[in-house]
Amino acid sequence: MTNRVVIITGASSGIGAELARLYAKAGDLLGLIARRESALIALQQELMNDYGCDSRIGICDVSDQSAIFDVIATLIADFGRVDILIANAGISVPSPAYKANAAYLTDTIETNVLGAGYAAYAVIPTMIRQKAGHIAVISSLAGYRGLPEAGAYCASKAAVNALFESMRLDLKRFCISVSIIRPGFIQSAITDRNNFYMPFLQETRVGCQKIFKALERHQKIIAFPWPLAQLVRTLYFWPCWLYDRCFAGIRNTKRP
Ligand SMILES: NC(=O)c1ccc[n+]([C@@H]2O[C@H](COP(=O)([O-])OP(=O)(O)OC[C@H]3O[C@@H](n4cnc5c(N)ncnc54)[C@H](OP(=O)(O)O)[C@@H]3O)[C@@H](O)[C@H]2O)c1
């Protein structure tokens, strides 16, 4: 039994729910945050039945600054501390520039960037007082370079990379570690909606076990699966003429 207090945003499905199972199995106490109350209650029940896990739920929209601060403050007060935050809540909607949907851009940045940043800011004062803590954010391999029809998502993950990398530098002297997770495709509600070929698509459990193990080692940046991560890193150095020749005009459609 490790008995750490782990707060996970976006715990009602996909990667967040699977990470909750892995931490529950390890004997940790869980704060589960998302908007869908029924899904969180079902997960809470499952974690209690399968692992005897003590978990609390917090219902809120992570992009609502006062709501996420209140929910996290309540969880910290209930448990008396926070050891790990996983800022995982996120959305991915198609955002082709030729359709110029400003609402999608706003939603994506508010949820993926501000939501992750608010959650981190909500735990930092407590972690500083504790002189210990671990903050992780679920970014993406999509944050290295703009991909076709996914500008909002790519921009959000690039922003998250920079925000949390700065955080890592600033918080080191308080013994708070920061991990940035950059997965490729992992089965979830997000990938279920994709209509395009997803190379190296990983089962939810397999992908999340990689994340869990890397977090247990306090790895600073985790990019996987390695062949795709290597390719994406290489693409970063391609000149624009070559990048455009290969990627311009590719359709990146999702089912509604
Ligand atoms: N699956 C992949 O291939 C992949 C790859 C790289 C990165 N990621 C990232 O992994 C994270 C989790 O995604 P997933 O693949 O597991 O998709 P998912 O199954 O759709 O899970 C997304 C989670 O985020 C929550 N969420 C979304 N908007 C929210 C909001 N405004 N406030 C609070 N919670 C919110 C959802 O809960 P509610 O709807 O109940 O609020 C849900 O629990 C995302 O940040 C995503 O960008 C996924």
Cross-sheet strand order for the sheet of 133-138: 55-59, 29-34, 5-9, 84-87, 133-138, 176-183, 221-224
The structure tokens listed for 59 are 């219902």
The structure tokens listed for 86 are 């996983």
C-alpha 18/C-alpha 207 separation (Å) is: 9
Res 251: pLDDT: 79
Per-residue pLDDT tens for 3-20? 999 999 999 999 999 999
C-alpha 27/C-alpha 83 separation (Å) is: 13
Ligand 1 center from residue 60 Cα (angstroms): 14
Ligand 1 center from residue 91 Cα (angstroms): 5
Res 253: pLDDT: 67
Domain ranges of the chain: 5-247
**Cβ(196)–Cβ(251) under 8 Å?**
yes
Per-residue pLDDT tens for 66-86? 999 999 999 999 999 999 999
Closest atom of ligand 1 relative to the 63 alpha carbon: 31
Q: Where are the alpha helices (DSSP H) in 56-114?
A: 65-79, 102-108
Q: Does the C-beta of 186 come closer than 6 Å to ligand 1? A: yes
Q: Which of 121, 153, 197, 243 is catalytic?
A: 153
Respond yes or no: is residue 153 known to be catalytic. yes
Whether residue 24 has pLDDT greater than 70: yes
Per-residue pLDDT tens for 201-256? 999 999 999 999 999 999 999 999 999 999 999 999 999 999 999 999 887 766 55
C-alpha 156/C-alpha 164 separation (Å) is: 12
C-alpha 205/C-alpha 209 separation (Å) is: 6
* CATH 3.40.605.10 given to domain 5-247: no
Res 114: pLDDT: 98
